[in-house]
Structure 1
Amino acid sequence: MKLSNILIVVATLLVMEFAVTLFHKYVMHGIGWGWHQSHHLPGKSARWEKNDLYAVVFASATIILFAVGGGTDAPLWWVAFGITLYGLLYSILHDVLIHRRLPLKWQPKNRYLQRLKTAHHLHHAVRTREGAVSFGFLYTPPVEALREELRERKKVP
């Protein structure tokens, strides 16, 4: 693999985190709440939820990028690979580690993974589309800052 391809993949991961944060905050908690709401319901099962339709849409778009990407010699193919890698990381960390959608007993000892898990649980502390915190996934603000933000929002009438 060429260095330029590695740089494209890394850049794609960074852009994806930024794009996913914006998409999550302004689409999934906005006009797309009809699908995403299922993900914020208490007591949901580990089975499919309406929110999973987002993964189908994103995967379909990435498959199209691979198809038109021109093979491994073309930069667009490596962008699609970076998006796929982001999706894989998201699936493992979000669905397996945080939401336990697979029956694994993985308890992270790593401080970064613990922070990621706690920040996502704080995101789910709000069950409505307004007022949530921590919309990113691979980066989260410090947990205490998120807790303080939630406390401040509860004080506002």
Structure 2
Amino acid sequence: MVKAVLSIIIILSASFIGYILAYKYVQRPRQIKHLLLSLQLLETEILYLLTPLPQALKKVAGKSSGELKRLFAEASVLLEKKDGFSIEDAWRQSVESNYQFTSLTEEDKEALIDFGMSLGTVDRDHQLKNFHFIYAQLKKQQQSAEELRSKNERMYRSLGILLGVAIVILFL
């Protein structure tokens, strides 16, 4: 009886670990999709509604979800403080400090930092090109993230279950 209960606990624990490892692969495509939507909102605020960047970032933060909300909110706060932060510095610091709370990769982080280099510093046409460039980059990364998800999600979940079963077999 005790062996059966312990076996079930081991299998469930290992399965849970497998699901946790798979979660990052599930979250990344979703976060990239939400990031694209948030950047489209930012584009609308800046280029068409002519909202000043700190207020535009604050509005986008209010409409963004989860981890991405922090990214835009922190950049807005840093710019509103006027502590000598340039737009690029505020964006970079916000991306780097909030990156750890996301499922985004280093490549995604670098694309966001590169985007921030010309955010609010060039004319309208170049700003529009900058937005279109980040959209293309993120769509490409979303596609590769989706491929990784479909490949690795099932693998990690199955691996967790199989590892649990293997441990139980070894202990019996």
TM-score (structure 2 length as normaliser): 0.26
Question: Computing the radius of gyration over CA atoms, which structure comes out larger, 1 or 2?
Answer: 2
Higher share of residues assigned helix? 2
| Structure with greater contact order relative to length (CA < 8 Å, sep ≥ 6) | 2
Q: With structure 1 as the length reference, what TM-score do the two structures score?
A: 0.27
